[in-house]
């Protein structure tokens, strides 16, 4: 059983949901990322998601776009982010997922990318701009290296296509909770709960379902887990803290840990 599957299984047995925390690798400087990751893990993040900065992140809103710009300006490369993942994995034994667009993978070479990812202990990879229909060689390379391929499903995904995505995804299904790009939102939309309930019959007993895009508050996390999801993915809320306090690292780390702790508490069963 993979480390990621073990985390979801253990939490499910406790009646809890998983907290997946995202930050952009190298934001605001590469040397900060291990400390930022540690603060999130101390706060309770069960799975860490590290983004490879990219110049044209089409699925991301202004918050994560700006984080990519800061990281690229600081000289961050894909290989450096994979190395950061390895450092975190070695020290904390928490599953690490890489989020990247397909261009960096293609430029490096799909097989080389997955061999390198595996050598650093990466557990899974998310590529938002790679459709499942065009991912056969990518999936084969990942499978041969023992790395999970996490695919996304959105409100516009038909039931027929959802079946195909669920067949191809491993680690978890990344549910995009609403139309548009990433970014913190004020309230949990009723349509998100309905989406979870529509997708659950397809994922239940097959693969964990985790919800992202717009999840930023404890009440969002609580509502999503109560609706039946196995996990919540929080990114922009953490990245905002990094941006706001990049000149005061101590304060940044304190606030990241505090928010992670509040979000983690919201994913727990209080029955």
Q: What pLDDT is recorded for position 60?
A: 72
Q: What is the DSSP letter of 53?
A: P
CATH class of 3-264: alpha beta
Per annotation, catalytic residue among 38, 46, 49, 123: 49
**Which sign, positive or negative, has the C-alpha torsion 24, 27, 33, 36?**
negative
Q: What pLDDT is recorded for position 271?
A: 46
pLDDT digits (tens, 9 = 90+) for 199-233: 999 999 999 999 998 788 999 999 999 999 999 99
Among 239, 238, 228, 232, smallest CA distance to 213 is for 232
Any catalytic annotation for residue 255?
no
Spatial strand order in the sheet of 148-150? 148-150, 124-126, 96-99, 47-51, 18-24, 231-234, 209-212, 173-176, 152-153
Q: Where are the domains of the chain?
A: 3-264
Contact 178, 155 (CB under 8 A): yes
Q: What pLDDT is recorded for position 190?
A: 74
Among 25, 30, 38, 29, smallest CA distance to 254 is for 38
Per annotation, catalytic residue among 27, 38, 46, 60: 60
Q: What pLDDT is recorded for position 188?
A: 61
Structure tokens, 94: 């928490």
Measured between alpha carbons, how far is residue 59 from residues 29, 31, 42, 171, 183 in Å?
A: 23, 26, 28, 20, 10
User: Which residues of the chain are modeled with pLDDT < 70?
Assistant: 178-189, 270-271
pLDDT digits (tens, 9 = 90+) for 80-103: 999 999 999 999 999 999 999 999
Any catalytic annotation for residue 49?
yes
Among 149, 38, 158, 159, smallest CA distance to 98 is for 149
């Amino acid at each position: 059983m993979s480390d990621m599957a073990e985390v979801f299984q253990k939490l499910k047995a406790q009646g809890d949901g998983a907290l997946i925390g995202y930050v952009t690798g190298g934001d605001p400087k590469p040397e900060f990322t291990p400390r930022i990751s540690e603060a999130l893990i101390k706060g309770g993040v069960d799975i860490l998601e590290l983004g490879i900065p990219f110049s044209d992140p089409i699925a991301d809103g202004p918050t994560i776009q700006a984080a990519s710009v800061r990281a690229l300006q600081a000289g961050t490369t894909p290989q450096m982010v994979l190395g950061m993942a390895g450092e975190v994995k070695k020290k904390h034994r928490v599953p690490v997922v890489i989020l990247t667009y397909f261009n960096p993978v293609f430029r490096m070479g799909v097989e080389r990318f997955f061999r390198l990812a595996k050598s650093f202990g990466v557990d899974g990879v998310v590529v938002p701009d790679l459709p499942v229909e065009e991912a056969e060689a990518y999936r084969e390379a990942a499978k041969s290296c023992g790395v999970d391929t996490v695919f996304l499903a959105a409100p516009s995904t038909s039931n027929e296509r959802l079946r195909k995505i669920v067949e191809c995804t491993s680690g978890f299904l990344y549910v995009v909770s609403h139309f548009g790009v990433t970014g913190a939102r004020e309230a949990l939309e009723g349509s998100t709960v309905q989406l979870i309930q529509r997708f659950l019959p397809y994922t239940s007993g097959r693969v964990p379902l985790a919800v992202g895009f717009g999840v930023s508050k404890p009440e969002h996390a609580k509502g999503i887990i109560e609706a039946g999801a196995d996990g919540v993915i929080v990114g922009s809320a953490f990245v905002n803290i990094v941006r706001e306090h990049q000149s005061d690292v101590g304060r940044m780390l304190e606030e990241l840990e505090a928010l992670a702790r509040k979000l983690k508490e919201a994913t727990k069963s209080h029955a």
